[in-house]
Amino acid sequence: MTDDTDMPDADAAKEQKQMYGDQNELDSKYPNRPRNLHQTLPFHTLFTDLFNPLLDSGKKPRPQAARRKVGPSGHANLSPHDARRNIIQRYVAKWRKEVGNDFYPAMRLIIPEKDRDRAMYGLKEKAIAKVLTKVLKIHKDSDDAKTMMNWKVPGQLNKASSSTAGDFAGRCFEVLSKRPERSNPSDLSIGAVNARLDHLSRTSGEDEQLKIFTWFYRRMNPDELTWLIRIILRQLKIGATEKTILDIWHPDAETLFNVSSNLRRVCWELSDPELRLDGEDTGITLMQCFQPQLAAFQSKVGSFEKMVAKLKPTPDDDEFWIEEKLDGERMQLHMIEDPEAPGGRRFGFWSRKAKDYTYLYGKHYDGEESGALTRFIKGAFHQNVRNIILDGEMITWDMQTDKIVGFGTLKTAAISEKENRTNSNTGQRPLFRVFDCLYFNDTLLTQYTLRDRRAALEKAVKGVERRLEVHPKIEARSYTEIEPELRKVVAESSEGLVLKNPRSIYRLNDRNDDWVKVKPEYMSEFGESLDCVIVGGYFGSGHRGGAHSSFLCGLLLNKDAHPGDPDYQKCYSIFKVGGGFSRDDYASIRGRTEGKWTDWNARNPPSIIELGGHVDNRQYERPDQWIHPSDSVVVECKAASLEASNKFRMNFTLRFPRFKQLRTDKKWDQALSVEEFLQLKATVEEEHDAKEKELKFEQSRRKKARTTKKPLIIAGNETLSTPYAGPKSQLFDGLTFYIMTDQFYPTKHSKAELEALVKANGGKIVQRDSTDENLVIVADKRLVKVSSLEKRDTLNIVKPIWIHDCIQQAEADTGAMPFVLPFEPNRHMFYLLGSDQIDFERHVDENGDSYARDIKNVDELREILTGMPSKYEAAFDKKLFLSQLEDHGESLSNLKNCMFRQLKVEFASASDTDRDWPIKVQLAKNYIKFGGGVVIEADEEGGTHFVVPEGDDEVSNGNVSGLARIVGVQWIEKCWKEGTRVDEERFQWGG
């Protein structure tokens, strides 16, 4: 590690000025920031040493039960996760050694989507394609220009373009590699690239963008440009998450990022991995953006009943909360006292993605920096509120209809309201709905329960109607109360519901079961199912690139029309569906419609398909391809409801449409017609009206349940309301337990439940690790504190299942002296020290069966038996079998794994004329081995072939057997390509 007290060399000093400009302000804000002693690494090292190895690590097959080696030659069989960590650790170590401790220049290119210091470039795929077309000086109607512009569409000209469909950067590489300015990687440093990207983010005109892209093009090879494009799009997908990368940089990096959303601060304040943050540094701070808690998806949780169970009700507190899910933008509001600010208060607003919206919603109550919200909320807080942080949703509210409006209108409404100096009370405006309070009068509330945070919120915020309001909640106790509320919000065209556990703490940047969102699309047996014919297809991106990922469905205008009639096969567009399809569903649709699709021509659209905007000669929701209904398939789709939309020809569409099944039993002319749809719509509306009346009647009879005030509880320190009722013993007498997490496998138990179990059986509980030799550390999830303990590599960590196994075994051994079970490496150990590996393996036999514990679980027994080798397997002699096939006249040369059978191949030594010879040799050797051949060395006899570089007349064959054929390496490559052993004559050396 470099010493930051040393002075940077001239190149490093010049580069820092290039990247950071005037450093006086930075020095005042970050007085202890690290300074690199040398210039940053070349840009190409990011993909040669980091990105490509990370991607390759995910492709290599690894034995599932490979055991990690211990010692100086260890890490040969790392798991994919550990292999990725190892790659990142090597790159960070290289940076520290060769550059210094300021890793920020690299970090902002490794996880560009988390870099909040650099503004958005305002460049999407088609804009970049347009700029590259000009940089390369190719015609906009050329095949290469079209292949970049239509990057989602499979290529028609070559197989390569087909394989990169949906991968824009891959498409660009194909075009760039045909006309490179340079073939070798450049010497551009990461710092120089960052400086240019900063310039790009500050420009908006196409001329300036063209200059910057031209600068890069003249200095980078196609590989570098491809990765640069991915960085600009903030779509790296390198197989490692930001959590992994941040954790490797520093154990507290993720924690600090969650409370600050600031990569610069993470890299500069945590440059020394040995220095840990204090507890005060890991909490939310006023006027610093944090990563908010997120809600889990219902589809991940299950039915309503299971969802409520996940909210962890207790016998004396089974309450959960139901809130309407709002269609807006997640927003956090920070407010502090500032005597110098107009109105005495200063505000900050940040989105979930950490974008600063203070400029839009307002910094002060009054003056030029009062925005679309702050100047209207002077009376929103009680007088005793000095500072506060609120979490909520910024939505658009229509004052004329007194209803929420869709998210797409929010920014327009905010800009309009910011400029509304007449304070008119009409039109659309931003409304901040608050549902959580995380900081109040210098007190951090994240470790308090949601119920207590809500109480603080209601004491602090009075609200201003239709400007800033506390989001209403419903207190419920049964899962049966969910569906009526969901039906109600669906009827009002709302997003859905959010269920919350009032006993939970606030978990930064975490999506867990304490908050669960329920959308109508997940409701079973609710909504309308429609059998519609597919009339259009949309190409996907990413893993769905090159194929249709979603489809346009239509309604038949006239089922009774015959061939020749103007209405025959004519369809009106009704909805677009892309959710619910499995891989088999896509394959089935593709198999039934392949070769029948036609590219959509906007200038000459098909007359049999009418889209939204047809009357105004517009083409809303225009598909990439269309198909005749008679050549298509019928699909059954379900939806939450119908909603008005001018984007489709019917002027209606489905809300949350999802594919249900392919109707292979129906022909195209049996699909739903316009007339049938209108009849169905009328019927559904009548049913909804009847159910709504019934619902209102039930609600009028419902009495409000009596509630009692719950005591203040800081989550994490709670105790069980129901004491442990199982058998008690002195089994763990003399042992001390530090239980770090809940139990997740094979059953779920909270930390408090595990502690009660240990206490009931004689154990002692502590809340931190120590040097006590009788300390048992228990964990079942790799949290930050658990990972930190692992890195110290001084203590074993046991899984909670060991506690249950000990108690169950003691119960089974009735009358005997109770004893704790010896640890089993695989079943019991969450983290095992290398020094204890061999000792612990002695506790089980070669099949993993414990010598001390009875197996009562059928699944565990089956797993052990499955892993046992069979002693009665009949020996199979592969060589004898293949010889017998040949004796019976069967040719094996057409089988790839037999094409080189009975060949012994020797390879020439290094070539002076072919620098790529070692790479070609390694690849050719793999082909020979896979094809059943044998690779021999120079001193071995019996060789059948001697392989040399093509055109190398100086290769010595003095040791080559006279019976061996001397051939060029192209012979092996040709055999592999053709899938059979081709004749050697054309590839014979010297021929």
pLDDT digits (tens, 9 = 90+) for 866-897: 777 665 455 566 777 777 776 665 666 667 88
Q: CA 873 to CA 700: how far, in whole Å?
A: 73
Please compute the mean of the pLDDT values over residues 638-653 and round it to a whole number. Answer: 84
From residue 893, give the alpha-carbon distance in Å to each of 513, 905, 915, 945, 972. 58, 16, 32, 16, 13
Q: What is the DSSP string of 870-893?
A: PTTPPP--HHHHHHHHHHTT---T
Give CATH for domain 529-685: 2.40.50.140
Q: What's phi and psi for 574, nearest 5 deg?
A: -130, -40
Whether residue 723 is predicted with pLDDT greater than 60 in this model: the reply is no
Mean pLDDT within 607-623: 91
The least confident of 174-183, 574-583, 772-781 is: 574-583
Q: Which of 122, 128, 121 is nearest to 148 (CA)?
A: 128
User: To which CATH superfamily is domain 294-519 assigned?
Assistant: DNA ligase/mRNA capping enzyme (3.30.470.30)
Residue among 227, 202, 295 nearest 54 (CA): 227
pLDDT confidence of residue 712: 44
274 pLDDT band, cuts 50/70/90, is: confident
Q: How far is CA 27 from CA 11, 20, 64, 160, 262, in A?
A: 20, 11, 50, 50, 17
Name the pairing type of β-strands 345-351 and 320-325. unpaired
The DSSP secondary structure of 389-447, one letter per residue, reads EEEEEEEEEETTTTEEE-GGGHHHHHHHHHT-TT----SEEEEEEEEEEEEETTEE-TT
DSSP 8-state secondary structure symbol assigned to residue 654 = E
- Which part of the chain has CATH 1.10.3260.10? 125-233
Chain position carrying tokens 């920070």: 334
How high is the pLDDT of residue 373?
95
- What pLDDT score does 28 carry? 81
Of the ranges 92-96, 172-176, 714-718, 918-922, which one carries the lowest mean pLDDT score?
Answer: 714-718
Residues contacting 786, CB < 8 A, separation 6+:
740, 741, 779, 797, 830
Q: Which are the contacts of 67, defined by CB distance < 8 A and separation ≥ 6?
A: 77
Residues 87-99 have a mean pLDDT of 96
Residue bearing the bigger pLDDT, 519 or 321: 321
Helix axes 242-249, 80-98, angle to 10 degrees: 50
Angle at 450 between CA 446 and CA 451, to 5 degrees: 135
Given the residues 325, 500, 799, 920, the one annotated as active site:
325
CATH of 736-867, one of 3.40.50.10190, 3.40.50.880, 3.40.50.300, 3.90.1300.10: 3.40.50.10190
Q: Which CATH number fits domain 125-233: 3.40.50.20, 3.90.1150.10, 3.10.310.30, 1.10.3260.10?
A: 1.10.3260.10
Higher per-residue pLDDT: 607 or 303: 607
Residue 876: predicted pLDDT: 63
The structure tokens 């089980």 sit at 844
Give the strand order in the sheet containing 764-765: 764-765, 736-739, 775-778, 797-798, 829-831
- Amino acid identity at 683: T
- The end-to-end CA distance of the chain, in Å, is 58
Q: List, as one string, the DSSP characters of 499-521.
A: EE-TTPPP-TT-EEEEEEEE-GG
Tokens of 562: 């015959």
- pLDDT per position as a tens digit, 205-253: 899 999 999 999 999 999 999 999 999 999 998 989 899 999 999 999 9
pLDDT confidence of 674, banded at 50, 70, 90?
very high
pLDDT of residue 657: 79
| pLDDT top residue among 407 and 354 | 354
Query: Is-contact 100 190, C-beta < 8 A?
Result: no
Separation CA 917–CA 969 (nearest Å): 9
Other Cβ atoms less than 10 A from the Cβ of 826: the count is 13
Q: What is the mean pLDDT of the chain?
A: 85
Angle at 750 between CA 745 and CA 753, to 5 degrees: 110
CA proximity to 172, closest of 183, 161, 162, 181: 161
Tell me the backbone φ, ψ of residue 562, rounded to 5 degrees: -115, 160
Residue 574 has pLDDT above 70, yes or no: yes
pLDDT digits (tens, 9 = 90+) for 17-60: 999 987 888 888 888 889 999 999 999 999 999 999 999 887 64
Q: pLDDT tens digit string along 384-439?
A: 999 999 999 999 998 887 888 877 789 888 998 888 766 667 689 999 999 999 99
Separation CA 848–CA 862 (nearest Å): 12
According to the model, what pLDDT value does residue 767 have?
Answer: 85
Listed in order, the ranges of the chain carrying CATH 3.30.470.30 are 294-519
Cβ(232)–Cβ(128) under 8 Å? Answer: yes
Query: How would you label 764-796 residue by residue, b for 16+ Cβ within 10 Å and e otherwise?
Result: eeeeebeeeeebbbbbbeeeeebeebbeeeebb
140 is catalytic: no
DSSP labels, 159-228? HHHHHTTT-HHHHHHHHHTTS-S-SSPP--BHHHHHHHHHHHHH--SHHHHHHHHHHHHHH--HHHHHHH
Residues of the chain with CATH 3.40.50.10190: 736-867, 878-987
Q: What is the mean pLDDT of residues 820-827?
A: 92
User: 720 — phi, psi (to 5°)?
Assistant: -75, 130
Confidence tier at 690 by pLDDT (50, 70, 90)? low
Phi, psi torsion values for 510, nearest 5 degrees: -130, 140
Tokens of 56: 């390759």
Please tell me whether residue 810 adopts helix, strand or coil conformation: helix
Of 506, 481, 446, 500, the residue nearest 312 (C-alpha): 500
pLDDT, one tens digit per residue, over 947-961 is 988 755 555 544 565
Distance CA 768, CA 139 (A): 68
Q: Is the pLDDT of residue 318 over 90?
A: yes
What would the pLDDT profile of 953-983 be if each residue is shown by its tens digit? 555 544 565 667 899 999 899 888 878 777 7
Query: What are the pLDDT digits (tens) for 123-136?
Result: 999 999 999 999 99
How far is CA 487 from each of CA 92, 527, 681, rounded to the nearest angstrom? 53, 10, 17
Residue of 325 and 5 predicted with greater confidence: 325
Q: Which residues of 640-653 are buried (b: 16+ CB within 10 A; e: fewer)?
A: bbbeebeebbbebb
Choice between 280 and 101, residue whose per-residue pLDDT is larger: 101
Instruction: Give yes or no for a contact between 101 and 36, defined as CB atoms under 8 angstroms apart.
Output: yes
Using pLDDT thresholds of 50, 70 and 90, give the confidence band for residue 523.
Answer: very low
Contact 8, 16 (CB under 8 A): yes
Length of the chain: 991
Q: Which amino acid is at 883?
A: S
Fold classification of 878-987 is Rossmann fold (3.40.50)
The pair of three-digit structure tokens given for residue 267, joined into one six-digit string: 């890299």
Over residues 454-492, the pLDDT tens digits come to 999 999 999 999 999 999 999 999 999 998 888 777 656
- Residue 862, both tokens: 């089956």
Highest mean pLDDT among 370-374, 388-392, 635-639, 878-882: 388-392
For position 721, what pLDDT does the model report?
45
Best-predicted range by mean pLDDT among 1-10, 427-436, 514-523, 538-547? Answer: 427-436
